[in-house]
Amino acid sequence: MRGVVVTVDENELKLVLERLDTVKLELLRLRAMLLPEEKATAEDRKSIAAAKKEMRAGKTASLKEFVEELGC
């Protein structure tokens, strides 16, 4: 059986990676809904607030950047 070759341009790859980011977020939300709820500690709340502040300031990383940093 012969393999299939698929060619995508940079814009298509970017779109796929953005959609993967969205899927990842939805999976995390689902996991959070299904897992037992825990009370956040003061340290957790502080970390969450800092992360939200970074997101509002536009300091985010794409899934592609994250994967490249991990060397996967």
Query: What is the value of pTM for the model shown?
Result: 0.41
Q: Judge whether 3 lies within some domain.
A: no
Q: Judge whether 46 lies within some domain.
A: yes
Q: What is the pLDDT of residues 53-66, one digit of tens each?
A: 988 888 877 778 77
Spatial contact of 60 and 54, defined as CB atoms under 8 Å apart: yes
Residue 30 lies in domain: 10-70
Contacts of 22 (CB under 8 A, 6+ apart): none
Q: How many structural domains are present in the chain?
A: 1
Q: How far apart are the first and last CA of the chain?
A: 28
- The pLDDT value recorded for residue 69 is 80
Q: Judge whether 4 lies within some domain.
A: no
Q: Judge whether 1 lies within some domain.
A: no
Q: What is the pLDDT of residues 14-66, one digit of tens each?
A: 888 989 999 999 998 888 888 877 788 999 999 989 988 988 888 877 778 77
